[in-house]
Amino acid sequence: SAVFNLKDATKEEIQTFLNSFDTVLTDCDGVLWIDNNAIPGSPETMNQFRKLGKKIFYVTNNSTKIRSDFAIKAQELGFIASADEILSTAYLVAHYLKGIGFTKKVYMIGSNGIGEELKAVGIRYIGVGPDHVCSDFKSMKPSELDSEVGAVVVGFDEHVSYPKFMKAASYLDSEDCLFIATNTDERFPKGGSIVVPGTGTLVKAVETCSQRKALVLGKPHAYVRKFLESCGLDPARTLMIGDRCNTDIELGVRCGFQTLLVLSGVTSERDLEKIRTEKKPPLPDVVLPKLGDLMALFPS
Ligand code: PLP
Ligand code: CA
């Protein structure tokens, strides 16, 4: 069945849609902004939801920033936002490890964003930043491994390298070392002809060399789902907005939320056609070219 485009809705249908939810969960990159540029109309639309009394959460798989930095970025781009409305994967890593009473060290393929969230809950970590130059990798010695490491965390890491994969796999060779990943996005939106490999690329690499499967915390996986379910939302009256069917919309469908896909990020009209044919991942309830298109549809 075709996905209903909200642009084709009557005034009454828009009013019914707007009345049908009181919580809005939104993806960030691809829905609200791309890189450091707001997508036109997105700030006004989110702020209008807030004006209508909707509760708002920003749910991002991006692991490179702490929650307060996401709030600052959102504010600078024109969104009303506070740190406690941000649910990001760096925060989820810290929340998870704290929740299980983890007291050892984390070896990280990742960024300072995860590091700062870990520090905030008193968990020690190593691995941020460049490691050996790759031509040195054969000289790596067992003494370079830290015996206090009890978990490997894989998130986005612009300094990812062969030596880092060696260390991660070596730690994970011990069965009691935990293996956690922030997210498995294949690509990040960029536009133009440049493809930006996503964190899923790094997770697959570490899964391959460690011969293990990571526990993935971000959208659409079980941990973020349970987290959201513990927030006391009414699923039937919650709207999930996203630009990807296999993360955002899949999470929304698994949680029983209403779902809105926008075509301003990763998923194109052509991808949507393919998903429709293959019946996988789940289709959204409704679609819009971009979130800001709602501005013209809000009742005046
Ligand atoms: N992780 C990183 C490192 C990113 O740069 C991005 C998007 O730019 C994402 C994840 C995806 O974030 P979101 O879930 O907000 O689309
Ligand atoms: Ca996105």
Q: How far is ligand 2, taken at its centre, from the CA of residue 196, in Å?
A: 13
Return the minimum-mean-pLDDT range out of 14-18, 90-94, 189-193, 209-213: 189-193
pLDDT in tens, 18-46: 999 999 999 999 999 999 999 999 999 99
ipTM surpassing 0.85, yes or no?
A: yes
Can you name the residues that pair with 260 across neighbouring β-strands?
241, 286
Residues 202, 135: Cα–Cα separation, whole Å: 20
pLDDT in tens, 58-105: 999 999 999 999 999 999 999 999 999 999 999 999 999 999 999 999
pLDDT score for 3: 81
Two tokens, residue 44: 């006004």
| Mean pLDDT within 158-180 | 97
Q: Which of 29, 157, 248, 293 is catalytic?
A: 29
What residue type is 17 in one-letter code? Answer: F
Two tokens, residue 218: 């971000």
| Mean pLDDT within 133-156 | 92
Active-site residue flag, 27? yes
Choose the residue to mutate in 62, 69, 249 for probing ligand 1, maximizing ligand atoms within 8 Å of C-beta: 62
The residues, ordered by sequence, that sit 6+ positions from 236 with a Cβ below 8 Å of its Cβ are 256, 258
pLDDT in tens, 46-56: 999 999 999 99
Residue nearest atom 9 of ligand 1, based on CA coordinates: 62
Can you name the residues that pair with 56 across neighbouring β-strands?
24
* Secondary structure (3-state) at 200: helix
Tracing tokens 């084709």 back to the chain, one arrives at: 8
Q: DSSP characters for 184-197?
A: --SEE---TT--EE
Question: Average pLDDT of the chain?
Answer: 95
* Secondary structure (3-state) at 185: coil
> Residues with beta carbon inside 6 Å of ligand 1?
27-30, 60-64, 156, 183, 185, 188, 199
Question: For the sheet containing 23-26, what is the strand order?
Answer: 4-5, 286-288, 258-262, 238-242, 23-26, 55-60, 86-88
